[in-house]
Structure 1
Amino acid sequence: MKEHLRQRQIGILCLVMALALLPVLAAEAPTTAKSPAPALNLPALDEAGRLEMILARFDQAQASIRTLEADFDELKELALLADPVEGRGRFYFAAPYRVKWEFLEPEARVVLISDNSILQYFPADKVLERHDVRDANMNRLFKVFGMGQSSRDLEDFYVISLGDGGGAAAESGRFGPPASSYQLILTPHRRAVEKRVARVRLWVGDQDFLPRAIKIEEADGDFTYWVFSNVRVNSELAAGVFELDVPADVTIHEEVSLFGSSTGSAP
C-alpha cells in the first residue's frame, strides 16, 4: 500500500512538473494558415547565441495560448518497480489555470487542476485525492512549474541550457528519441525544486518549436518521459471537459500533499 501511494505521489508531481512546458504546444491555431517560420542559422552562432535565438522562438510560441489538447504516450521508470511502466492518454489545457490529464492505460486515471483544486481520480478504486490551492498560491504554483510563462519567468527557477538535438530519452518503439529537434535542459537552482527534480529535458521541433517530447528526471534517479501527437491548439474544447463526475460512494483523500502522505475519509 505504501508503495502504491508513493507511485501516486510521484505521478502527480511529475504531471504538475510537465506543466512547465506543455503550453508551448499552443503556438498557433490550426485554422490559421501561416508560412513556416524561417529556419534559424544556428551554426554561425556560439552556444549562448544559439540558446538566445531558440528561446526567442520559444517565447513566441507561449504568447498566444488559449486552449490545447493532445494525445500522449508515457514511459515511467521508478526504482520501486522492476520494469518500466508505459501509459497513454489525452491532455487538455485552457488558460489560465485549467488542466486535465486523462489516462487510458495502464489504469484509468484522471488528474484535474481547476477551481483552485488539484484532483486525482482512480475510477477502479473509487478513490478521489484532492489538494486545495488558495487563490494567492495558484498563480505561484503555475509560475513555479512554468505554465504559460516566458523563458525569463522560467529562469527565476531554472538554469536553461542546450543539449544535443534529438537526444535519447528512451531506446525504442514509440518512445524513440525525437528527430529534427532542439533539446532544452532546465536545471533547478531553487532548493524547493532541486531537492525533488534533477532536471527537465524538452525537445522542440527545429522548424515550428512545438514540443516533441518531455523528460522529467527526479533527484533519486526516477524519470518520466512523454511523447505528444495529434495536437489541436486554440480550438473549442468539448463542454464539460474540466468537470469530474464521480460516484456517491467514492472515498476522498482530503488535502493530498504533492510531497507527503494523506489521510482518507468517506464522503
Structure 2
Amino acid sequence: MASLEVPTDPEIPHTDIRKSIAYLKQINIRKTPQDEDDFSESSDDSEEEEEVQDRRQDAGSDLPSEYWQIQKLVKYLKGGNQTATIIALCSMRDFNLAQETCQLAIRDVGGLEVLINLLDTDENKCKIGSLKILKEISRNVQIRRAIADLGGLQTMVKILQSQNKDLKCLAAETIANVAKFRRARRTVRQHGGIKKLVALLECPANSCDAGKDVEVARSGALALWSCSKSTKNKHAIRRAGAIPMLAKLLKSQHEEMLIPVVGTLQECASEPSYRLA
C-alpha cells in the first residue's frame, strides 16, 4: 500500500488544501526537460506491448504534455496524505482518460499499483476516486491485463460486498471492462465474484433509493455479461440463481438495464440448461 504520510519534499505544500490545489494546478502547466528524465518507460514481453513501446519511443519528445503532467500527478499521489491523495485523484480525472497516452502515462510510472493499493484503504473517497479512474483506463487492452496481473480483480470482488452502493457500482463496471479475456474471467469466478455479482441483481421492491438500486443491478448485469463468455462461468451464473433474477429484470423500463440483461441471456442461451429454464 502506498504511504499516505505527508510528503517531506519542501516544495510540495500539504498544510493547506488550497495551497495543495494551487500546487496541482501549477504542475499541470509546467514541464521542464529534467521532468522528462525522471521517468522511464516500462516494458513487457508481449508483442502487442512491444509494438506500442516502439511507437512511443519513435515519438520521443513528441509525446503530448498531458503524458508528463499525469506522471507528475501520480508521483505526487504516491507521497501524499489523505487530502492530497483525493485532490490528486480529482485532478487526474480532469484529463481525457480515454486517450491511450494518458492511460499509458499512469501505467508507466507505477500508477496502476498505487490505484489498486488505494482500494484496500478504509477511506471510501479514495476508493471511489481510484475506481473512477480504473474504470476509464481499463478499456485499454494493456491496462486491463496489467490490472489482472496486479491482483486488482480480487480486490474489486471484495468491494462488491460493500455497503456503499457507489463503490459496488464502480467495482462491477470496472470488472466488466477487465473481464474481457479468459484469465480475468476465471479469476472472477475462482474468487467468488459470480455469486457476488448475481447478488447485485436484486432490486428491493420497497427501497427508498430505487434509482441507485437500479444502477447497482445494471452494473452487476454488465459484469455478468462479460463473465458469461466463459462456459464455466455460465454454469456458475445459473447455480447462483441468476435466471429468475434476469427474467425479472427483463420487465424493467430502463433501456440501460435491458441491454446488459439481454446480452447476458444471449451468451448463456448457448447452454441447454438455460434454454430449458
TM range (shorter): under 0.3
Structure that is richer in strand per residue: 1
Relative contact order, higher structure (CA 8 A, sep 6+): 1
Q: Whose radius of gyration is greater, 1 or 2? A: 2
- Greater share of residues in helix: 2
**TM-score, normalised relative to structure 2:** 0.22
TM-score (norm 1): 0.23
